[in-house]
Amino acid sequence: MRPWNKNMNLRRRVVGILVITIIPAILCMFFVSFITYQTIRNQIYSTSFDTLSLYCNQIDNELKSTVDNVRNIDFNEDYIDMFQSSDRSENYYAANNYKKTITPIISMLDYVEGIVAFCNKSGATVYNFNVNLDSKYSNRQNVILYLKDHTDELSKEKNQWRWFRIGEKYYLIYSYVIRETYFCAWTSVDSFVKVTENWKIAENGTIYITTEDNQIMAESGEGTGEIDLSGDIKSYYLSGNRFLVLGITSGVGNFKIMEALNVRHLTWTFERIFYVTIGILVVFLMMIPVILKNLNHNIFLPMGRMQKAIAAIDRGELNYRMEPFHANTEFQNLIEAFNSMVRQIENLKIETYEDKIEQSRIMMQYLQLQIEPHFYLNALNTISAMAQVGDTDLILKLSKNLSDYMRFITKTKNGIVTIKEELEHIQNYMEIIEIRLGNEFTYMVEMEEELELFKIPPLAIQNLVENVMKYAFNIYENTEITIKIHRTIREGQKGVSISVEDNGNGYPEDIIQSFNLEAEEEGNRIGLQNIRKRLYYLYGDKATFRISNREEGGARAEIWIQID
């Protein structure tokens, strides 16, 4: 016995599909967010590094220019001798000459606070200072006294600017020695800070001037509080997961210029979008139980009941009926059609045909041939198979077509229909066949529009189409079905021709001859004979039904009805 408790498997499949869809979406979201965030940080670093490099080069060029000017001052050996002499007049002369030389030079330097030359042996000292920077006399004297007291350090010339802490302030000092005469230039780190205040640095960024061992000498900008400046500045690094830190080592001195950027401030828009997206995903996850409940109510439970009903019919329980319950419209229509179908099957089983009513006998014989449960059971089995793979769109489509198909059959049982109604019914039939067997066929209608309301026996054209699908359909080739409906004149009489053509192998010649001679057939051609009988019952000699083969290949069945 075929098991029918597959609705639980369908639930697992649907839940699995949801999980398989959601988890990769969340992982993809996090991956894209990480890459995007990393790209933004790299872009911030690239832009900030280029700007910082420009400013650092500007400082280095200025300091290098100062070195060139200090070392190239015209102070020859004679002046050195006079400067180191114990003769005060010679000291004065040499010092005065040196001061005249450095005065125009220092006025052109933007970063240097002062230039000094001294000789501890003779006690001679001469200096000049930049009035645009530090003009405090005490600061200048502290620097000069420090230099005179630390000639040993100054003698360790490395041809670069070196930082010194004098009092509470940091200074950058350049020095070189000619015999015992020291030539020095200095600038305080505070002067650098004044320069950096004019730099166009990023919002919420802070500039630091540090020693080579990361000791902060000065800073400017928004300020960041405690921050780690000891990282590797070959690239950027993060401090406190908030600040992006980068830096450049000076090419002319033992100091670094570093910058700390508040990346959270710079990326706040992206972070908000990210959190909103995460919120949407969380809401979607919370909606999964609601979605599953809705699927259970509208798909799983109705499908379970239908499977149970199909199993009962397979067991021969023709008195079984599906109890009405709240479901979507398509399933309600399908349940109604199913109960109607089973009721007809049961009635056909217990009723006897009455010989005195020819129409009832023909119609009941036709319905006995056409309304067999296998077509509907196959359609319901198809719905079951689609439900197990979660194809709800095709389930709804097939349910609607099948309910419309059954509604047409039941409402036209004893009457006549228009060609338009018959073609709409055939369209439902063809869509059901397409869903069950695939789309390896082409269905076309050629009709004069004014014939839409012409009345014919119900299911007449469909019986012809079914005959094509039964005998001409080939799953390995494209089957072409053409319905042609138009006015014709035969033997001087006006009429309507309704033909169905296909591109199959055609009818055997003996079948064509025996059928067109109106010989009674047993077995496979009963459906076609019923069409002929119903036409005769309605129209008498004014209607004919013939079958033939097309010259280009394939079969052709034609109904011709005379118009008075």
Kindly tell me if the per-residue pLDDT of 28 is higher than 50. yes
Residue range 256-278, pLDDT digits in tens:
988 888 877 666 666 677 677 77
Kindly tell me if the per-residue pLDDT of 496 is higher than 90. yes
Residue range 335-384, pLDDT digits in tens:
778 778 877 777 766 554 344 445 544 554 454 444 445 566 767 777 77
Distance CA 112, CA 383 (A): 89
pLDDT at position 129: 86
Backbone angles phi, psi at 174, to 5 degrees: -115, 135
Distance CA 347, CA 173 (A): 115
Residue range 86-138, pLDDT digits in tens:
888 888 888 888 888 888 888 777 778 888 889 888 888 888 888 777 668 88
Distance CA 184, CA 4 (A): 99
Q: Give the list of residues 6+ apart from residue 220 with CB closer than 8 angstroms, or none.
A: 193, 196, 197, 206, 207
Q: 117 has which bridge partners?
A: 126, 183
Distance CA 161, CA 255 (A): 9
What is the model's pTM? 0.47
Torsion of CA 232, 159, 60, 139, to 10 degrees: 100
Three-class SS of 401-416:
HHHHHHHHHHHCCCCC
Going along the chain from its start, the domains and CATH numbers come out as: 7-65+199-266 (3.30.450.20), 73-193 (3.40.1840.10), 292-414 (no CATH), 422-564 (3.30.565.10)
* Cβ atoms within 10 Å of 544's Cβ, excluding its own: 19
Outline where 186-252 has alpha helix (H): 189-196
Question: 3-state DSSP call for residue 136?
Answer: coil
Three-class SS of 406-469:
HHHHHHCCCCCEEHHHHHHHHHHHHHHHHHHHCCCEEEEEEECHHHCCCEECCCHHHHHHHHHH
Element (H, E) at 122: none
pLDDT at position 178: 83
Backbone angles phi, psi at 510, to 5 degrees: -65, -35
